[in-house]
Every structure is written in C-alpha cells, then in structure tokens.
Amino acid sequence: MSALAYTITDSTTMLGRNLRRLRRYPSLTLMLVGMPIVFLLLFVYVFGGQLGAGLGRGLAGGHAGRAGYLNYLTPGILLMTVAAAVQGTAIVVAMDMTGGIIDRFRTMAIARACVLTGHVLASLIQTLVSIVVVLGVAIALGFRPTADPADWLAAIGVIALFAFALIWLATALGLAAKSVETASNTPMFLTLLPFLSSGFVVAASMPAGLRQFATYQPFTPVIETLRGLLTGTHIGGNAIGAIAWSVGIGVASYLWAIRLYNQRHAR
C-alpha cells in the first residue's frame, strides 16, 4: 500500500474508533444536544411572543408573533448546536491526549495525522447528526423553511464548513488544555457568541459597541446566510463573510492544532 492509502486506512480506523467511543458515552452527546433544544424551547415559548411582535414580517418568513420568532430564531439555534457540539470535540481530544493511549499510537508505525483526522471526522458526523435532531425539534414546533433542494444543499454546505472550522478550533483547544476539565471550559465562549450575534435579536436593535461587535463577529454572517437559504431573507454580502470566516478560522485552527500535536509530547 502507498503512504496515502495507509493514511486513509488508518484515518478510517480512527474514525470508527471515535464513533464507537461516542456511542459508548451517550451522556456527553445528549448533554450537548440538549443545550440548544432547551434554549430553543425557552426562547420560543417564554420570550417568543414578545420578541416576535418586535420583528418585521420580512425577517420572520412571513409569519407573525411566536411563529414568526421561531422562524427567525432557528438558524441561530442551529449554529448554537454547532458551538455546543464542538465542546464535546475538545473534551474527547483532551481525554485522549491526557490518557496513556496516545503514547501507544505515537510509538506505532501509523500515519501521523490519523489520530486528529479521526477525531475531526467523528466530530463532524456527530455535529451533523445533532443538527438534524435540533432541526427536527424546530420543525415539530412549527418551523417552516421555504428552501428548495438547492437551498438545502447550500445550507448543509454552509453549516458543514463552519462546523469543520469550529471543530478544528476545538481540537486545538483540546490539545492546548492540560486537563479534561479545562478542555470542557475553554470552548464555552463559542456557545455565548450566538447570543451576541443576530441569532436571537436583530443586531440593529443593540446599543453602539455591542451592535458593531454583533455585526462583524463570525456567527452573524453565517446565521444570516443560513436564514436566507432556509427562510428566504436577504443574504447579500453575508455569504462571502460566512465562507471567509469559516475558511480563516479553519486554516488557522488546523495549523495551530497540528503544531500543538507535534509539540505536545516532545517535551
């Protein structure tokens, strides 16, 4: 077999290992999927009536009140699902790195990248499954996307690309953490960022300073692009912003993660 074939075989083996580990540790996934669902229910049923009243119909997929707010909120909740899921990535990466098994892998003649590739691919699958679950709950509550098949494909692409970037970021955070506890805390800021974006309320309604932050931080263009694809709102330059942020975060985090991985045990 060639070196590339070995890399693919070993990465597939590691992917299988990590998916199996996730199945053996279901409480982690349940906790991470539960969080955005709780926020979805909270915001739709507690705040939704009043928040929906303040939205124009144009932003709410043509609906008013609570139903309109559900349409407005769902893209942001989907992104929050991504942010929550990658917290799990940091935890499982740190579990591996602080355990003894990583030394075993490093003394075996296996493709060097396969340990991290296995984690990233497993996390991507886990994140996409979480997205499907949360989306299912939103639809059950009355979320009515207007997307055609091409829009759906594009939406999946946008989510997957952003998820891929955040997974590499979480992988790096998991590698940087000295303990599993630290690794479960450091990515938490990611789950806060959707609140400080256009995910829950229109950025224009925020005070100066916060408004600029909300407008220019990475989650906003991704949420706006997703909202446009799913409910037909105006996307404009947000698509470029979403792709640029995803690629930027992804590449920087990838390089950081690889550097940490190669350094980590060389001390």
Partner 1 sequence: MIGAGGPAIEAAGLCKSYGDALVLDNVELAVAEGTIFGLLGPNGAGKTTIVRILSTLIPADCGRMRVAGRDVVADPDGVRGSIGVTGQFSAVDDLFTGEENLRLMADLNHLGRTEGRRRVGELLDAFDLADAARKPVSTYSGGMRRRLDLAMTLVGSPRVIFLDEPTTGLDPRGRRTMWEAIRDLVATERVTIFLTTQYLDEADQLADQIAVLDRGRIVAEGTPGQLKRRIPGGHLRLQFTAPDALEAAERALEGASRNEEHLTLQVPGDGSVAALRRVLEELDDAGVEIAQLSIHTPDLDDVFFALTERPAAQQAAVL
- Residue pointed to by tokens 């691919």: 121
Provide the token pair at 134: 């949360």
Shortest spacing between CB 6 and partner 1, in angstroms: 7
Q: Which is nearer to partner 1, 104 or 150 (CB)?
A: 104
| Distance from C-alpha of 151 to C-alpha of 119, rounded to nearest angstrom | 29
Max distance between CA atoms of the chain, in angstroms, equals 63
User: By three-state DSSP, how is residue 194 classified?
Assistant: helix
Q: Which is nearer to partner 1, 97 or 163 (CB)?
A: 97
Site string for partner 1, 146-185 (x = CB under 8 A): ----------------------------------------
DSSP 108-174: SSS-TTHHHHHHHHHHHHHHHHHHHHHHHHHHHHT------HHHHHHHHHHHHHHHHHHHHHHHHHH
Q: Which is nearer to partner 1, 25 or 256 (CB)?
A: 25
Provide the token pair at 195: 């609140």
> Which residues from 76-115 bind partner 1, rule CB under 8 A?
99-101, 103-110
Q: Which is nearer to partner 1, 22 or 60 (CB)?
A: 22
Shortest spacing between CB 163 and partner 1, in angstroms: 24
The identity of residue 85, as a single letter, is A
Shortest spacing between CB 174 and partner 1, in angstroms: 17
Shortest spacing between CB 111 and partner 1, in angstroms: 10
CB 211 within 8 A of CB 203: yes
| Distance from C-alpha of 156 to C-alpha of 131, rounded to nearest angstrom | 10
Q: Which is nearer to partner 1, 204 or 266 (CB)?
A: 266
Among 233, 222, 240, 42, smallest CA distance to 145 is for 233
| Distance from C-alpha of 261 to C-alpha of 209, rounded to nearest angstrom | 37
Number of residues that bind partner 1 (CB under 8 A): 25
Q: Which of 1, 4, 204, 208 is the binder for partner 1 (CB under 8 A)?
A: 1
> Which residues from 2-31 bind partner 1, rule CB under 8 A?
6, 9-10, 13, 16-17, 20-21, 24-25
Q: Which is nearer to partner 1, 100 or 149 (CB)?
A: 100
Q: Which is nearer to partner 1, 118 or 241 (CB)?
A: 118
CB 197 within 8 A of CB 219: yes
Is residue 258 close enough to count as binding partner 1 by CB under 8 A?
A: no
Shortest spacing between CB 109 and partner 1, in angstroms: 4
- The residue ranges that bind partner 1 (CB under 8 A) are 1, 6, 9-10, 13, 16-17, 20-21, 24-25, 99-101, 103-110, 265-267
